[in-house]
Amino acid sequence: MGYFDGLTNASFKKDKNGTTVFFPWGIFGKGRVLADEVAEAKVRAFVHRFYKVSVPTSIGVGVLFGWAWAFLLVAIFYGWYYAGTKPLISGCSYSDDKLTLKEVYSNSAEGHSKVTLWLLFVGSVLLVLMGVFVATTGAMILGLLAAAVFGATATAFGYMLKLKHGA
């Protein structure tokens, strides 16, 4: 279990028949019923690879070259995601099931280890504090924006920790 397993898990759920349903666009789209374990393994492998490449690369480009370039890169990565998932699911039927935000967090928590979730939570809280510090030293908008973004991530990781400890 690792960080990218948690991200990957967020897009999958089991329906009432025990069949795996893949939601390529998360809560914003329809799910596709994966025919068997082989199809599921192929889709999971691609989604996992997508996250392992796109997340660190986008962050690295943002830090080194600027966030405008990172956002452009994210758009390119999602083009790759679309092109990569489309052939894997084109023959799969649509599911009537919906993916809820609670299921996203629950599935993601299942894929993360408790240690990873704690590190992400503590890191997010520290970044909130840094945002507050930046806001008090003159860059008010930037600091408050950072505090808000990382406050949201801390809340999400805290919720996943709660789900993990309750399991």
- Kindly write down the DSSP assignment for every residue of 59-80, as one continuous string: HHHHHHH-HHHHHHHHHHHHHH
Residue 165: pLDDT band (50, 70, 90) is confident
DSSP 16: T
Bridge partners, residue 14, by sequence: 20
Average pLDDT over residues 140-165: 93
What is the percent of the chain where pLDDT is above 90? Answer: 86
Gap between the Cα atoms of 117 and 25, Å rounded: 23
141, 69: one domain = no
DSSP 27: G
DSSP H helical segments within 90-139, as ranges? 101-111, 114-136
Average pLDDT over residues 148-159: 96
- DSSP H or E stretch at residue 12: strand 12-14
Decide if pLDDT at 153 tops 60: yes
72, 117: one domain = no
Decide if pLDDT at 33 tops 80: yes
Give the Cβ contact number of residue 67 at 10 Å: 13
Read off the pLDDT of residues 60-87 as tens digits, 9 standing for 90 and up. Answer: 999 999 989 999 999 999 999 999 999 9
| Single residue among 66, 98, 130 that ends a domain in this structure | 98
| Single residue among 65, 98, 131 that ends a domain in this structure | 98
82, 122: one domain = no
86, 40: one domain = yes
| Single residue among 58, 73, 98 that ends a domain in this structure | 98
Residue count (the chain): 167
Average pLDDT over residues 120-145: 94
Provide the domain count of the chain: 2
1, 65: one domain = yes
Decide if pLDDT at 138 tops 90: no
3, 79: one domain = yes
Residue 106 lies in a domain: no
Read off the pLDDT of residues 12-24 as tens digits, 9 standing for 90 and up. Answer: 999 998 999 999 9
- What pLDDT, on a 0 to 100 scale, did the predictor assign at position 68? 92
SS3 13: strand
63, 131: one domain = no
Containing structural domain, residue 52: 1-98
Residue 103 lies in a domain: no
Residue 34 lies in a domain: yes
- What pLDDT, on a 0 to 100 scale, did the predictor assign at position 2? 77
Decide if pLDDT at 167 tops 80: no
Residue 161 lies in a domain: yes
SS3 22: strand
